[in-house]
Amino acid sequence: MNILGINAYHGNASAAIVCDGQLIAAVEEERFNRVKYAAGFPAQAIRYCLKEAGLTLKDVDHVAVPRNPYARLATKLFYAVRMPSFARERAKVMVKFTGIREALGQTFDADAEKIEAKFHRIEHHQAHLASAFYVSPFERAALLSADGLGDFASTMWGSGEGSRMQIDGAIAFPHSLGLYYSAVTQYLGFLKFGDEYKVMGLAAYGQPEQLDAFRDIVRSNGRGFRLGLDYFTHHRTGPEMSWAEADKTPVLGRMFSEEMPRRLGPTRAPEEPLEQRHRNLAASLQARLEEVYLGMLKKLAERTRLKAVCLAGGVAFNCVANGKIFDATGFEQVYVHPAAGDGGLSIGAAFYVWHQVLGKPRSFAMNHAYWGPGFSRDEVNRAVEASSLPGKGYSVEELAEGELLRRTAGIIADGKILGWFQGRAEWGPRALGNRSIVADPRRAEMKEILNRRVKHREIFRPFAPSILEEATGAWFEKSHPSPFMTMAYAVRPEKRERIPAPTHVDGTGRLQTVAREANSRYWRLIKAFEELTDVPVVLNTSFNDNEPIVCRPEEALDCFLRTQMDALVLDDFLITRS
């Protein structure tokens, strides 16, 4: 039985294929069309997923789409009357959404009417919850999804057992932790879609001096929270989103009202310098998010009396808050879907159909994130040859693994910047050792070098450590696995000066714990680095330069040559300056 999940006409358009309950492939459209957070119809992602699974469109039994126009219909109609322009915008998206069958037909040059697969509409947050629970290793778990907005809700919680999920509550538009974070992110002068994680990084440089004001912006109540709507505009105008086109990154209109600068001080324009006041505001924003998010999780743990929790939705990318769950709530185990944002909805919708609709038992756990395109030795070789590297002053060697890792670990330990491209691409926004740039964590200057030569990003943003899973407790104050880089833990004080480059200003690191069985070659690379340096950690940042993470070897070579990396490993090929 083959189930195709499609997240279309929504940020992070993506596709996933689940065959007899096993995930075979999943990828976001941005990796193909090279537009960050691309919306629209993920035609290339769907083609890739079917090809990887060896299927044609005729073999697909079910198509799962994470949007249900009938969910919260009364609320939708209520706001449609009050916000006609928003209603018109949503209606346009809805027309596209109902055309998924036609778009699928066009993608494969097939008659849409003859597609035999059964179509399912899964409510946005139920798909988020399914994306976390049904691929988690837990038989029973509490569930929480929190994001900006989806099917007119921002938050949903419940519990899962075996192949069933039970929904216990939800918070509807206009109250939203995701929109709260987005609105204050805009107010602080970060206007691009997806900039929230920059402000989370900035928060570590400030003090939550304005926490009281933020307690008025997000107010606690018995169910969790509600927004102080005076500070926002989205409940009057609707969040102005345009994300129906595949070739564009989604754009969000302004979401905060004049009340926000009245209470917090002047709005920062993007070109204005960052002052301590802005850092303190970011810290206050983050502190209030943590109070509310961790408070909801604490109540969820008490109500369900479960020890494990599964998280998804864009708010679940807040690794700083996630890292505090163990101390702040009764939960002892946490699973965050690697594509916790809307990209993950395609997997969630597909597994929802397999378990919740079809009642099939659980037989799959996602313990690694390598579900995207991989390339054969010949494809990699062709890309290398086409780049005429020797003529550009580079030498190319094809090496056996032992020699490759020994040489590569030496390159990193020498303070060089290494492009590291292996196997199948990661699912979700984090590079986890298959499309990564790797560097020496012991050198404090590495952050500045990486920014100047390759990444060109804000200096206040931290870089992440990848650590051998078994060494986690010796280097960090928590040892719970974080295979998808979704948790930030404090680095042990005595270790901070040994890995200054990926240690953030507040002493934490957004770590990836690398298990040998999840990615044996990356694990062995870090092990080889440890043998040279006594440090079981490398600095890991995504293989890109202000673009989606590279997918194909050609893009890796292009990024390598365009920036000033020192060496590149493409599967078994080692490329160095000669």
The CB-of-81 to Fe ion minimum distance in angstroms stands at 25
From 21, 40, 150, 548, residue interacting with Fe ion (rule: CB under 5 A): 150
Continuous H helices in 487-565: 520-533, 553-562
Please identify, among the stretches 148-156, 257-265, 274-282, 391-399, the one whose residues bind Fe ion according to the rule CB under 5 A. 148-156
The CB-of-249 to Fe ion minimum distance in angstroms stands at 16
The CB-of-150 to Fe ion minimum distance in angstroms stands at 4
- Radius of gyration for the alpha carbons in the chain, expressed in angstroms and rounded: 23
* Residue closer to Fe ion, measured from CB, 148 or 372: 148
Please identify, among the stretches 81-89, 150-158, 183-191, 226-234, the one whose residues bind Fe ion according to the rule CB under 5 A. 150-158
* Residue closer to Fe ion, measured from CB, 10 or 447: 10
From 30, 123, 147, 469, residue interacting with Fe ion (rule: CB under 5 A): 147
Who contacts 298 (Cβ-Cβ below 8 Å, separation ≥6)? 328, 329, 330
The CB-of-147 to Fe ion minimum distance in angstroms stands at 4
Residue 316-345 contact track with Fe ion, rule CB under 5 A, x = bound = --------------------------x---
Residue 289: how many other CB atoms lie within 10 Å: 26
First to last CA, the chain: 52
Q: What does each C-alpha distance from 504 to 290, 434, 439, 469, 551 come to in angstroms?
A: 18, 23, 16, 20, 28
Q: Residue 257 in 3-state DSSP?
A: coil
Phi, then psi, of 196 in degrees rounded to 5: -55, -35
The CB-of-316 to Fe ion minimum distance in angstroms stands at 10
* Residue closer to Fe ion, measured from CB, 182 or 576: 182
Please identify, among the stretches 144-152, 256-264, 396-404, 465-473, the one whose residues bind Fe ion according to the rule CB under 5 A. 144-152
* Residue closer to Fe ion, measured from CB, 149 or 283: 149
The CB-of-446 to Fe ion minimum distance in angstroms stands at 34
* Residue closer to Fe ion, measured from CB, 150 or 250: 150
* Residue closer to Fe ion, measured from CB, 147 or 571: 147
Size of the site for Fe ion (CB under 5 A): 3
Would you state the torsion angle of the CA atoms of residues 468, 472, 476, 477, taken in this order, to the nearest 10 degrees?
170
Residue 570 · residue 505 · CB < 8 Å: no
* Residue closer to Fe ion, measured from CB, 150 or 372: 150
Under the binding rule (CB under 5 A), the answer on residue 28 touching Fe ion is no
Cα separation, 180 vs 190, whole angstroms: 14
Site for Fe ion, residues 172 to 201, rule: CB under 5 A: none
What's the angle, vertex CA 208, arms to CA 203 and CA 212, rounded to 5? Answer: 135
Site for Fe ion, residues 341 to 360, rule: CB under 5 A: 342
* Residue closer to Fe ion, measured from CB, 150 or 158: 150
Who contacts 400 (Cβ-Cβ below 8 Å, separation ≥6)? 572
Cα separation, 27 vs 429, whole angstroms: 10
Q: What does each C-alpha distance from 337 to 128, 153, 315 come to in angstroms?
A: 9, 19, 12
Copy the structure tokens of residue 270.
Answer: 């993007």
* Residue closer to Fe ion, measured from CB, 131 or 356: 131
**Angle subtended by helix axes 177-187 and 276-304, to nearest 10:** 180
Please identify, among the stretches 133-141, 142-150, 205-213, 352-360, the one whose residues bind Fe ion according to the rule CB under 5 A. 142-150
**Which residue, judged by CB position, is nearest to Fe ion in the bound state?**
147
The CB-of-309 to Fe ion minimum distance in angstroms stands at 18
Q: Which spans of this chain sit near Fe ion (rule: CB under 5 A)? A: 147, 150, 342
